[in-house]
Structure 1
């Protein structure tokens, strides 16, 4: 209850959807909406190079606007991780020329500037081969027709442990999305 009350008292925050899909500028659902295969979609990663990203500037600007927190995409439905995940190389550090952990940078900037960091995290994953049954979306990705959802849940649990285990400092909250895909 305390967390809910604190969230309500904060009243204003900034919610950012940002990832490899940004290269195309057609939204975070582009892989599904344009029926892109994993192989085709992975070609975007070498083009994702946000060299002008400045976590401190973002934090300063958002705080000046009155924001109390920032929510950023740690992983959207495309499975691309905006942190240095040890569970996959499908992340900003290993697959892009940028090669830096965006979540880490933003977490540190939030701490320096007195903002809370919240994470948006997709529970569905169009990229992971064990995400089964396929659910309602991502049918054109080229994933295998079978998989072990238990293994996928272990993968997701390990990733959440990476994010929430302390290396990123205090996390104000997590916004889960995508469980509806399995219903």
Structure 2
């Protein structure tokens, strides 16, 4: 029925699912606070990056998380794969700032994907590509309208 419109099929599935689990997990989890910690607490990039040396993900258990979701009759799990702090919960060729290069040495996104597939849970992946606090021109004052390259003068489009 939706073969011609897979986007609509996905939207309908999500709407029908109605109840799921959204997980924010990353370096901020070490200190037990929120995912906006670096920006809101004005932590310099170099200081925040030091948290990676402590990130062992010892409390991250995809099997237990998905069991909990099923017990609560949830239909999906949504995990933040990379938040605005730039730390990835998977290995990537674009950044060494990730869980595989931390003491955890684990691909947490892969672990979650395998457990969701094994247990029949939907999986959604949140990846922040539009904001990166490690970028040299990233706004640090909540100004969402700031330009990533302030000295760039775009050419006229004809």
Q: TM-score range by the shorter chain?
A: 0.7 to 0.9
Is 1:5 the counterpart of 2:49 in the alignment? no
In 2: Cα distance, 1:58 partner to 1:17 partner: 13
Task: Give the deviation of 1:14 after TM superposition.
Answer: 0.3
Task: Give the deviation of 1:120 after TM superposition.
Answer: 1.4
Is 1:21 the counterpart of 2:7 in the alignment? no
Task: Name segments (4+ residues, structure 1) moved above 6 Å.
Answer: 145-148
Aligned partners of 2:133 and 2:140 also within 8 Å: no
Of 75, 80, 90, which aligns to 1:73? 80
Answer with 1 or 2: which has the greater Rg. 2
Is 1:120 the counterpart of 2:122 in the alignment? no
Q: Structure 2: where are the runs of 5+ without partners?
A: 1-7, 144-148, 153-158
In 2: Cα distance, 1:138 partner to 1:78 partner: 14
Q: Check 1:30–1:136 CA distance in 2 against 1; reply closer, same or farther (3 A cut).
A: closer
1:105-149 Cα distance to aligned partner (Å, 9 max, x none): 0000000000011011212000134xx4x346479xxxxx8688x
Q: Structure 1: where are the runs of 5+ without partners?
A: 140-144, 149-183
Task: Give the deviation of 1:82 after TM superposition.
Answer: 0.7
TM-score by length of 1: 0.70
In 1: Cα distance, 2:26 partner to 2:142 partner: 17
Task: Give the deviation of 1:55 after TM superposition.
Answer: 1.1
RMSD of aligned Cα (Å): 2.2
> Any residues of structure 2 matched to 1:14-93 within 5 Å, and which?
14-93=21-100
